[in-house]
Structure 1
Amino acid sequence: MNFDYAQAKDVDALHALIESAYRGESAKRGWTHEADLLGGQRTDAKALREIIAADRQVILLTRGGKGIAGCVQLSYVKDGVAYLGLLTVDPALQAAGLGKELLMQSEQFVRENWQSAAIEMTVIRQRTDLIAYYERRGYFRTGENRPFPHNDPRFGLPKSAELEFAVLRKKI
């Protein structure tokens, strides 16, 4: 697999991939979707452009036969800590190890480029299957929960008022 950094020219394809993996009927082809918990969008092109243009943020991606096969957002948080978000794999390619490979590449990137000793993420607390996936890869629940932005449609339209994020962390 070849990994690269997203550029402005990749935004439309990235946006299409992310939406297809997280929302709507196409997302239900894979096991990591949020379509039962949220409607609306997962992100938008403007937010992706801002991430790509920002200092100390990158979107790492890998390409497949039909274009971008997977991606992950990495952000420098503070000395020793990075944040991982938007881990996305084309629903047709899920369960083939690409997500695990993206996680390993992410951990290597933040260690080498930001000297991070830990990486954290937030996962919707109700996504127990996804949390278990991350736990099998060395992430653990910190015990901290963070509020879901219920009133901000840029992050989706919640189908439950109960949604909140669990914070997971891994020492790398």
Structure 2
Amino acid sequence: MTELCFRFATLADVPRLRALVESAYRGASAKRGWTHEADLLDGDRTSDDELASLIADPDKRVLLAEDAIGALAGSVNATNLGNGRAYMGMLCVDPELQSDGLGRALIAAIEAVAVREFAASVMEMTVVDARPELIAYYERRGYVRTPEVRPFPLPIAVPFAMAVLERAIG
């Protein structure tokens, strides 16, 4: 893995953050990596408004990973759920850089942020249950699948749901 700098996103980052998220989750570019949803879903993964809201919310942190020249390599966010719990979401790595340890580094960095900024001791996340290889990836990082399953968060008919995983942090 090349040397990276981690920092919190600002509103000025929204356009390039959105480009990264879309390239990592949807369309032909996403298929260059292995963590995409391109075979399951079409359309946009996020919007400028959603990303701006994430960045502006005091109970959320959006972490960016940039290389030495400032190119965006990955991102992840955390939400303070209260009572010592945080939620990790929208982990994405540039498809050209996947399988190089950046996802692991982003997870560790956002867990540290959740501990430091939200006093979290448990991190939870959701993963599309139609992606057992992705669930296995998080299990290798110490996450445990809970019995809880949540509905898919968009109002569209899909044959899958969201598996809930969690792990103790801090």
- Give the letter for the 2:66 counterpart: R
Q: Which amino acid counterpart does residue 56 of structure 2 have in structure 1?
A: A
Q: Distance in 2 between matches of 1:146 and 1:10?
A: 30
How do 1:78-157 and structure 2 match up within 5 A? 78-151=82-155
By how many angstroms is 1:87 displaced?
Answer: 0.2
Equivalent AA in structure 1 for residue 26 of structure 2:
R
Partner AA of 2:12 in structure 1: K
**Equivalent-residue separation in structure 2 for 1:136 and 1:121 (angstroms):** 14
After superposition, residues 3-152 of structure 1 pair within 5 angstroms as: 3-64=6-67, 65=69, 67-151=71-155
Moved more, 65-74 or 129-138: 65-74
Would you identify which runs of 4 or more consecutive aligned residues in structure 1 move more than 4 Å?
A: none
Post-superposition offset of 1:150? 4.4
Does residue 163 of structure 1 match 2:167? no
RMSD: 1.2
User: Is the partner of 1:30 in helix, strand or coil?
Assistant: coil
Q: State the shift of 1:79 in Å.
A: 1.6
Given the superposition, is the C-alpha separation of residues 66 and 108 from structure 1 closer, same or farther in structure 2, using an over 3 Å criterion? closer
- Number of positions where the alignment pairs a residue of Structure 1 with one of Structure 2: 165
Structure 2 residue identity aligned to 1:5: F
Task: Report which stretch shifted further, 60-69 or 26-35.
Answer: 60-69
**TM-score normalised by structure 1 residue count:** 0.93
- Provide, for residues 139-159 of structure 1, a one-character-per-residue CA deviation record: whole Å limited to 9, x for no partner: 01111000013425xxxxx6x
Structure 2: give runs of 5+ residues left out of the alignment.
Answer: none
Displacement of 1:55 after TM fit?
1.1
Letter in 2 for 1:50: S
Instruction: Structure 1: give runs of 5+ residues left out of the alignment.
Output: 153-157
The residue identity in structure 1 corresponding to 2:115 is: R
